[in-house]
Structure 1
Amino acid sequence: MKIGVSSYSFHPLLKKGEMQIEEVFDWVAQKGGEHVELATFTIGPGMQDMMSYRLADDPEVLNRLTTASANSGVLLSGLCISASFLGSAEERQAQIDRAKSYVELCAHLGVGFLRFDVVPWPLRLENYAQFEREFPSIVAVCREIAEHGETHGVMTSIEDHGFFMNGSERVRRLIHAVDHPFFRMTLDVGNFLCVDEDALIGTQACLPHAAFVHLKDFHIRKHAPGEGWLETYHGRHILGSIFGHGDMDTHKVIELMLRSGYDGFVSLEFEGLESSLVGCEMGLANIRRMVDEVSEEIARG
């Protein structure tokens, strides 16, 4: 298992220009991390244009990224892109072409994993008929991209992300319907909370389909204590925390992951109110400690 950090964890610093992508790789190397997973909006033009940004068309940023990885010795493990396969046929085709271009970029960079969304992150279901109406076309698009991934040796995946294509049942249904060996899941252990699913239940259900794992933690409240809390689909409120400091049973999450036999890439995603550097350093330390503790417990039987 290779433990690292998503660039998303440093987004506040990257957005303000207080940290550069080179410094992210150097920081991860100094803290003993093995890889960086890149959320492309953290180095591109930002959230506003994330549906159209193509890293391959930004040679200066691409060169900085690859140079940072080479100089630090920290592997670039995967790319995460926003995408939406809703809208007109022309809009959908443009997004398919863009996703395929990222498959090709992954192959060019020697990166084995591409995670893409299928709808905008904030989109919330109006009713379940809306999901059923869009599902067949989403399946077809994901299969087409997965076939392109197979051609280039790149695993494609969807994440339990946002409010529409989230929840263990919906994600597993999509994976089953696509039915392609190069389409699996980026399992985010905390994002199930966005649709009010128990994080442990969602994690356990989806681990057999995981090609990549995101580790995070949340504070969970029935009522928002103040600003900055995300309202879940059914009206609870969550706030990112340092891994191990929140209300999720992170020790059990680690146990489920290790007992499942998962041995791939693991990215810390920190999105709390604490500084990114503090949150990431403490989170990485807690992940390693829990992995060691659980491994010893498993060895003892």
Structure 2
Amino acid sequence: MKISVSMYSVNRTVRQENWSAVDFIELANTINLDGVELLDIYWQDKEKEIEEVQNVLQKYNLVVSAYDVTNNFVKGSAEERADEVEKVIDGIKVAKQLGTNIVRVFCGDIHGELTYQDGQDWIVEGLKKSAEVAESEQVYLAIENHGLLAGKSEQVAEIIEKVNSPYVKSTFDTGNFLLVHQDPKEAFDRLKKEIVHVHFKDFRKKDPNEDVNGFRSTQGVELIGAVPGDGQVDLDYIVNGLKEIKYDGWLSIEYEGLEDPKIANKEAVNRLRELLK
């Protein structure tokens, strides 16, 4: 298994210091990584920056583990949903330019008067249309368990089954299941045959005395991002399970805590290296 860090892991630094993808890769080169995970939300001048990214990746002998598209298929109009499909298709093209065959995708969230069935039908439709291009380009669309609709493993599994494409699989986010009150171990056992990409993440419960805003779960519990191993996720179970199924893809750290992201990500990489021994 190979280790990368998502650019989202240093989101606070990116926003505060106006980092580009190149700045992030410069950091990645200092913390013993095999690759980096890039996101569509951070481009300022995409075409120019892609070329710069290609050059700096080559300079440091790094690769792109995955390219993340921030899409949402749960939109009220057909035109809006078509725009989201185009966003994913553009992500496939960018992924090819960056040399990765993984595009992380979202499904979407229920909101307003929409029902679960409305949302699921639109997601399946959007993924089927996107998968036509993904299949021709041999790029995986890896659904992250994220949000109210596809936050649980059974929802991800059902959507993958309904789309019925060999190129629509799972980005298994180890931490996000806690936000929908599902045991990550149970989720892993259900999805392990569908995993093509892993987000290595952990959360802890907010201390009652902490004066900070956490991530609120579906039951109103506040969770705080943690360096992997300091939270509630049994990461040993998941890593050992990945070894058992002979997973040879990427483990991409996604840190969302309160500590300095530069320090926290370096520690996360070191801990993951130990787990993989």
Which TM class, normalised by the smaller chain length? over 0.9
Out of 129, 135, 142, the residue aligned to residue 157 of structure 1 is: 142
Out of 51, 59, 73, the residue aligned to residue 63 of structure 1 is: 51
Between stretches 265-274 and 219-228, larger displacement belongs to 219-228
Contact 1:156 1:184 in 2 (8 A): yes
Q: CA deviation at 1:64?
A: 2.3
Contact 1:224 1:237 in 2 (8 A): no
Q: Deviations over 1:5-60 (max 9, x none)?
A: 1111111111122644323223323322001011222x236xxxxxxxxxxx7222
Contact 2:124 2:163 in 1 (8 A): yes
Contact 2:107 2:149 in 1 (8 A): no
**Structure 2 counterparts to residues 252-271 of structure 1, below 5 A:** 252-271=237-256
Residue 211 of structure 1 is matched in structure 2 by: 196
Structure 1: how far apart are the matches of 2:130 and 2:240?
Answer: 33
Contact 2:103 2:142 in 1 (8 A): yes
Residue 155 of structure 2 is matched in structure 1 by: 170
Contact 1:13 1:19 in 2 (8 A): yes
Structure 2: how far apart are the matches of 1:98 and 1:4?
Answer: 24
Contact 1:21 1:68 in 2 (8 A): no
Residue 77 of structure 1 is matched in structure 2 by: 65
Q: What is the TM-score when the length of structure 2 is the normalising length?
A: 0.92
**Structure 2 counterparts to residues 114-129 of structure 1, below 5 A:** 114-119=103-108, 123=109
Alignment of 1:94 with 2:83, yes or no, is: yes
Between stretches 10-19 and 177-186, larger displacement belongs to 10-19
Q: Deviations over 1:201-245 (max 9, x none)?
A: 112221211010110111025968432211100122211011111
Structure 2: how far apart are the matches of 1:101 and 1:22?
Answer: 21
How many residues align? The count is 276
Structure 1 alignment gaps of length 5 or more: 46-56, 293-301
Residue 40 of structure 2 is matched in structure 1 by: 40
Q: Summarize the Cα distance change of 1:65–1:87 in structure 2 as closer, same or farther, 3 Å threshold.
A: farther
Q: Deviations over 1:77-104 (max 9, x none)?
A: 2111111222211111111122112212
Question: What amino acid is the match of 2:116?
Answer: F
Between stretches 163-172 and 23-32, larger displacement belongs to 23-32
SS in 1 for 2:71: coil
Q: Percent identity?
A: 24
Structure 2 alignment gaps of length 5 or more: none
Structure 2: how far apart are the matches of 1:156 and 1:224?
Answer: 41
Contact 1:217 1:248 in 2 (8 A): yes
**Structure 2 counterparts to residues 173-252 of structure 1, below 5 A:** 173-221=158-206, 225-252=210-237
Q: CA deviation at 1:138?
A: 1.5
Contact 1:217 1:242 in 2 (8 A): yes
Q: Summarize the Cα distance change of 1:273–1:242 in structure 2 as closer, same or farther, 3 Å threshold.
A: same
Q: What is the TM-score when the length of structure 1 is the normalising length?
A: 0.85
Question: What amino acid is the match of 1:100?
Answer: I
Residue 141 of structure 1 is matched in structure 2 by: 126
Contact 1:6 1:269 in 2 (8 A): yes
Question: What amino acid is the match of 2:80?
Answer: E
Residue 16 of structure 2 is matched in structure 1 by: 16
Structure 2: how far apart are the matches of 1:226 and 1:248?
Answer: 23
Q: Summarize the Cα distance change of 1:18–1:144 in structure 2 as closer, same or farther, 3 Å threshold.
A: closer
Structure 1: how far apart are the matches of 2:241 and 2:29?
Answer: 27
Pick 1 or 2: higher relative contact order, CA cutoff 8 A, min separation 6.
2
Residue 272 of structure 1 is matched in structure 2 by: 257
Contact 2:206 2:214 in 1 (8 A): no
Structure 1: how far apart are the matches of 2:206 and 2:161?
Answer: 33
Question: What amino acid is the match of 1:116?
Answer: V
Contact 2:143 2:171 in 1 (8 A): yes
Contact 1:124 1:233 in 2 (8 A): no
Question: What amino acid is the match of 2:78?
Answer: A
Q: Summarize the Cα distance change of 1:138–1:228 in structure 2 as closer, same or farther, 3 Å threshold.
A: same
Residue 296 of structure 1 is matched in structure 2 by: none
Question: What amino acid is the match of 1:228?
Answer: N
Q: Summarize the Cα distance change of 1:58–1:31 in structure 2 as closer, same or farther, 3 Å threshold.
A: closer
Q: Summarize the Cα distance change of 1:200–1:126 in structure 2 as closer, same or farther, 3 Å threshold.
A: farther
SS in 2 for 1:12: helix
List 4+ stretches of structure 1 deviating above 3 A. Answer: 123-127, 221-226
Contact 2:6 2:37 in 1 (8 A): yes
Structure 2: how far apart are the matches of 1:165 and 1:30?
Answer: 35
Q: CA deviation at 1:126?
A: 6.9
